[in-house]
Amino acid sequence: MRIYITSIPIADYDKALAFYTEILGFQKKRDIELGGGARFLTVVSPEDPDGTEILLEPNADYRGIKALRKALAEDGIPITSLAVDDVQAEYERLQKLGVTFTQKPFSHGGPTTAVFDDTNGNLIQIVELKKGE
């Protein structure tokens, strides 16, 4: 068993797609019209185009998701975590592109992490793992 798709709640397809592709550097993998303005829209890492896909799920206003996102944001908890080779370098690159960070690069005896807002109301963590972590 392996992870095929994981989802991130969004409010706006085009805004989310632009952020995840133009800012974060993911590639659009699927964009299937489902009718009534709905789409099955996924992005994937260019480093692993056949790997796990992120479904940009337009359920940000669903009451359960809305409550979860609000609670996570209030507590500063990321909704997901993305691996990078160098957190400091990625932090600097993303800051130059206008990304808002809620946590600067920080190491607490384990991996180095940083947290940013994805412009769709989600906190996303980037993490730099050392060999064996």
CA 45 remoteness from chain centre: 11
Structure tokens at 57: 């799920």
pLDDT score of 132 more than 70: no
Give me the architecture of the 5-128 domain, per CATH. Answer: Roll (3.10)
pLDDT in tens, 52-77: 999 999 987 888 888 998 899 889 99
Confidence of residue 133 (pLDDT cuts 50, 70, 90): low
State how far the Cα of 56 lies from the Cα of 51, in Å rounded to an integer.
16
Q: What is the pTM of this model?
A: 0.90
CB 38 within 8 A of CB 58: yes
pLDDT in tens, 79-90: 999 999 999 999
* Sequence ranges of the domains in the chain: 5-128
